[in-house]
Amino acid sequence: MVVRVKVNDQWRDAEAWAGASLLTFLRDRLGLYGSKNACEQGECGSCSVWLDGTLVCSCLVLAAQAHGREVRTVEGVTASDRLHPIQEAFVEAGAVQCGFCTPGFVVAVADLLQKDPHPSPATVREALSGNLCRCTGYQKILDAVSLAAARMGGGT
Amino acid sequence: MEVLLPHSLDEALAMKAERPDAPPIAGGTDLMVDLNFGRRRPPSVIDLGHVGELASWHQENGHVILGAGLTYATIVREMPEFKPLVQASRSVGSPQIRNRGTVGGNLGTASPAGDALPVLAAYDADVVVRSRARGERAMPWHAFLTGPKKTALAPDELIIGARWPLRRGPGSFSKIGTRNAMVISVASVCLVVDEEDARVKVALGSVGPTILRATEAEQQIAAAMASSGAWQDPSITIPDQVIDEFGELVAAAAKPLDDVRGTAAYRRHGCRVLARRAIRWALNERRLPAWL
């Protein structure tokens, strides 16, 4: 079947097997390799994207379910060539080691800071509870979130 | 394989009638795992994502009617007055999972570890199902959940939602697992106090082939509250010994197995501890002034 999705503000369409996940569609059909394929069961958050503005694991969405809808991936967190402040904060805080989980974390952190520009430590932990990192031990990721929140200012 | 994309409930029911072997998909948090791992290859699936009728809730004639397509995130946002349900919903998976997973999915999958299920059991909920051929029918939760991953749903039916009578009184949901998120319950307890009927209702998850009610414990604590006058006067203290007996009766109601997530003995003990906590929380909440 042909699946047509608005990805990062552009309508794209491609052939997809009916049982394919949105994640494999993004990676294998549209060449968007930012969303990572790790657990394929919603445990790790590496494939996090927005579907109609809602944070989801793209491995648990059928590509067909995204037909006619809007998807934003980690490639779409910023329109410019520069890094997003969240990405800069991850680099500066040393929140990246192997880097495999990083795109999912960047998306989940951006989702959090959109809703809550100044989250409490408990809120950050709950918001990132669906993203696994096996390298950093998380503390530097939490540092990166604080740094990004402080820089982005949240308009208050 | 093909994906059917109905845009209304009637259309979905017509598709289900023609394709009884097509599983419905909503949030996909269960079915997609089976598809990704090649465990299931249904000839077709019916996407309920565009069936708006299923994704809402309302109150009607003293009942709550909760659509099968309501996500856990929506419950947390929109239903704060249903505290046990919100607590259970917030303990499901992660933010990503709660944004997609639905109560209908918990019902359809019928895992004894489905976190919404003990709450529906403690609420004495009915499960509402519908087919094109025979229309709508409702049955008590225990008639719907017939065993581990088994339900009374006919192949041409879809789950419409759950319905339960509105009752006044405190309650809670708590569960045991290895961490606070992304965890399948090792044991869970939902306790609901019904002030109007002077009853306490206790449902257990993950400690039996399906959800269990601890009826002896329910009767013991309600009777103790009646004989002490605590139903009328919440300031009357229930002795620790009565609370301990209640915990023992709840533990005795569990029918746990040993498995990879925990031993039967640990699960039974978990029920005991969670039950004692839950009844203490409820009794304390009854003592608070109504305006709090």
Distance, in Å, from the CA atom of B113 to the CA atom of A68, rounded to the nearest integer, reads 34
- Rounded to 10 deg, the angle between the A85-93 and A102-115 helix axes is 120
A93 CA: distance to closest CA in chain B (Å): 24
Whether B289 shows a pLDDT value over 80: the answer reads no
Mutation pick from A22, A55, A65, A138 vs chain B, by most beta carbons of B within 10 Å, is: A65
pLDDT for A153:
84
Nearest alpha carbon to residue B165 among B131, B133, B195, B206: B195
Beta-bridge partner residues of A112: none
> Which residues in chain B touch residue A59, judged by CB atoms under 8 angstroms apart?
32, 36
Strand order in the sheet with B171-176: B171-176, B187-194, B199-205, B212-213
Look up tokens 């069961």; give the residue: A41
Q: What is the pLDDT of residue A156?
A: 47
**Cα radius of gyration (chain B):** 19
Give the pLDDT of residue A79.
86
Closest residue in B to A17 (Cα–Cα): B1
Closest CA to B205 of B185, B234, B191: B185
Q: Which residues pair with B269 in a beta bridge?
A: none
Within an 8 Å CB–CB cutoff, is residue B181 touching chain A?
A: yes
pLDDT at B186: 95
| Torsion A10-A16-A20-A23 (CA) sign | negative
Q: Evaluate if residue B95 carries a pLDDT over 50.
A: yes
**pLDDT greater than 90 at residue B54:** yes
Task: List the structure tokens of A109.
Answer: 């952190």
CATH architecture, domain defined by A2-74: Roll (3.10)
- Touching check for B35 and chain A: CB below 8 Å? yes
Residues of A in contact with B23 (CB under 8 A): none
Question: How many angstroms separate the CA atoms of B72 and B91, rounded?
Answer: 9
- Interface residue A130 vs chain B (CB under 8 A): yes
Quick one: tokens of A44?
Answer: 């790790």
Convert the pLDDT of each residue in B179-188 to its tens digit.
Answer: 888 889 999 9
* In chain A, domain spans: 2-74, 85-155
Q: Model confidence at B291, in pLDDT bands (50, 70, 90)?
A: low
Read off the amino acid at residue B245. Answer: E
CATH numbers and ranges of domains, chain B: 2-165 (3.30.465.10), 171-287 (3.30.390.50)
| Alpha-carbon separation of residue B218 from A101, B141, B173, B243, B245 (angstroms) | 47, 18, 16, 12, 11
- Distance between B124 CA and the closest CA of chain A, angstroms: 31
Q: Which residues contact B10 (CB under 8 A, 6 or more apart)?
A: B132
- DSSP of B89-156: HHTSS-HHHHTT-BHHHHHHH--TT-THHHHHHHTTPEEEEEETTTEEEEEEHHHHEEETTEE---TT
Tokens coding B194? 């019904």
Cα dihedral A143→B86→B104→B138 (10° resolution):
180
* CATH fourth-level superfamily of A85-155: [2Fe-2S]-binding domain (1.10.150.120)
- pLDDT surpasses 70 at B292: no
Q: In angstroms, how far is CA B260 from the centroid of its own chain?
A: 23
Q: What is the pLDDT along chain A (156 residues), one digit of tens a residue?
A: 999 999 999 999 999 999 999 999 999 999 999 999 999 999 999 999 999 999 999 999 999 999 999 999 999 999 888 999 999 999 999 999 999 999 999 999 999 999 999 999 999 999 999 999 999 999 999 999 999 999 998 654
| Sign of the dihedral defined by the CA atoms of residues B237, B241, B245, B251, in that order | positive
| Binary contact (B45, A56; C-beta < 8 A) | no
A129 touches chain B (CB under 8 A): yes
Tokens of residue B79, six digits: 């239903």
State yes or no: pLDDT of B115 exceeds 80. Answer: yes
Contact across the interface for B32 and A67, Cβ inside 8 Å: no
